[in-house]
Amino acid sequence: MRAMIDDLLLNLNDDEVFYRSYFEAGRSPDTLRKFLGGIDVDDARRRHLIIPELLPENISYQMNDDEYFSPDDSRNVFISPHNRYTPPFTHRHVFFEIAYVYSGQCTQNIGIERVLFSAGDFIFIAPGIYHTMEVFDDESIVLNILIRKGTFHQMFLPLAKGRDIQSQFFREGLYNSHRIEYLAYHTGGRMKDFIRRIYDEHLTNDEYSDQIQIGMLITMTAEVMRNFHGSMTCSYSDGDIQDKTGFAVVGYMQENNGTLNMTDIARHFGFSESQCSRLIRRTTGMNFSEWRRLLRIRRAENMLRNTNMTVSEISLALGYENTETFIRLFRKVLHITPGRYREEMKRN
């Protein structure tokens, strides 16, 4: 079973092959333009591929049960390997999401925090939390474990009755309060065989598999919480992130890589600039300038890691006409210059 599942997960599927070519083409603006020009848009739309430049409508910013569980599907558990090389996009779920780093590593932006996770890490993300997932190499595998919202409430209600941070996390998630955005347990791979068994049951998918998976997930979660609570890390947020309009505003800024000014945003949504400003602060906990700067720096990090563009070209692409201004802001946020950042990423 071990070898079969490992081979199955390591082999890139057709979508991942496409995303890898897309990712590699993005290293150069000219190569990317040529690659995008050769895409069969109808086929990409049918496959629901994430291509922000061509098909922004394919991006689901809010994911409900029906994204994974059809009305005629009796399953309560859905396990899906995250497609490697998928362009990261901000989204949220109405249910708890469990991600397990099966091998390698991944980076997630959860709320406004950027976190690197490694093999053996379990990440529990609360409902309604905006996050992205980045997996950009062949050897890294992340499994997304999704549970119907109602089923999760029944399964994990007992975990919400304690007084520790773990119980607080589940309690807040069950009752739509999200001061704790995620819990991460660093197991070092000691639960990997357990995960293989759950995934094998997912592949079996007979009339008993759903109930078996529910039982195994309850046991797995309890064992992780009991045995690895000392390794647990988490993130707090005091912001109110329920406002859908605010999410639309910050999502629109993200789609445009932080290159818009407040007038552009207000005109797009038909709001006043002061109203847009309040929505951005309400949603992100930052003012407009801080959020735009963070988006630009995150985009700059991606371009420094994955393209051959010069620092000046990146600066111009992000809307900074003065390269020195860009370098100064990059260093202010990350405490390192763009050139040094690129050197260290290559070395790593």
Q: How far is Cα 139 from Cα 133, in angstroms, rounded to an integer? A: 16
Residue 35 within a domain: no
Cβ contact 131:108 at 8 Å: yes
Residue 333 within a domain: yes
> Is residue 107 domain-shared with residue 213, that is, in the same domain?
yes
Domain end residue (candidates: 236, 263, 280): 236
Q: CATH code at 122?
A: 2.60.120.280
What pLDDT shows up at residue 127? 81
User: Domain of 315?
Assistant: 244-347
Residue 28 within a domain: no
> Is residue 229 domain-shared with residue 250, that is, in the same domain?
no
> Is residue 206 domain-shared with residue 93, that is, in the same domain?
yes
pLDDT at 264 over 80: yes
pLDDT at 235 over 80: no
> Is residue 146 domain-shared with residue 266, that is, in the same domain?
no
Per residue in 274-322, pLDDT (tens digit) is: 888 888 887 777 888 888 888 888 888 888 988 888 999 998 888 888 8
Alpha-carbon distances, residue 272 vs 200, 240, 265, 304 (angstroms): 53, 21, 9, 35
Residue 33 within a domain: no
Per residue in 73-113, pLDDT (tens digit) is: 778 888 999 999 999 888 888 778 899 999 999 999 887 67
What pLDDT shows up at residue 239? 44
Domain end residue (candidates: 215, 236, 257): 236
Chain position carrying tokens 């290159």:
259
What pLDDT shows up at residue 238? 45
Residue 31 within a domain: no
> Is residue 178 domain-shared with residue 325, that is, in the same domain?
no
> Is residue 79 domain-shared with residue 226, that is, in the same domain?
yes
> Is residue 186 domain-shared with residue 265, that is, in the same domain?
no
What pLDDT shows up at residue 174? 62
pLDDT at 169 over 90: no
> Is residue 89 domain-shared with residue 129, that is, in the same domain?
yes
pLDDT at 240 over 60: no
Number of domains in the chain: 2
pLDDT at 149 over 60: yes
Q: How far is Cα 255 from Cα 244, in angstroms, rounded to an integer? A: 16
Alpha-carbon distances, residue 311 vs 78, 303, 316 (angstroms): 42, 9, 9
Question: What is the mean predicted confidence (pLDDT) over 53-69?
Answer: 76
SS3 of the chain: the string is: CHHHHHHHHHCCCHHHHHHHHHHHHCCCHHHHHHHHHCCCHHHHHHCCCCCCCCCHHHCCCEECHHHCCCCCCCCCEEEEECCCCCCCCCEEECCCEEEEEEECEEEEEECCEEEEEECCEEEEECCCCCEEEECCCCCCEEEEEEECHHHHHHHHHHHHCCCCHHHHHHHHHHCCCCCEEEEEEECCCCCHHHHHHHHHHHHHCCCCHHHHHHHHHHHHHHHHHHHCHHHCEEEECCCCCCCHHHHHHHHHHHHCCCCCCHHHHHHHHCCCHHHHHHHHHHHHCCCHHHHHHHHHHHHHHHHHHHCCCCHHHHHHHCCCCCHHHHHHHHHHHHCCCHHHHHHHHHHC
Q: CATH code at 293?
A: 1.10.10.60
114 vs 246, more confident: 114
Residue 14 within a domain: no
> Is residue 209 domain-shared with residue 262, that is, in the same domain?
no
Domain end residue (candidates: 210, 236, 262): 236
> Is residue 135 domain-shared with residue 177, that is, in the same domain?
yes
178 vs 99, more confident: 99
What pLDDT shows up at residue 242? 40
Question: What is the mean predicted confidence (pLDDT) over 259-273?
Answer: 81
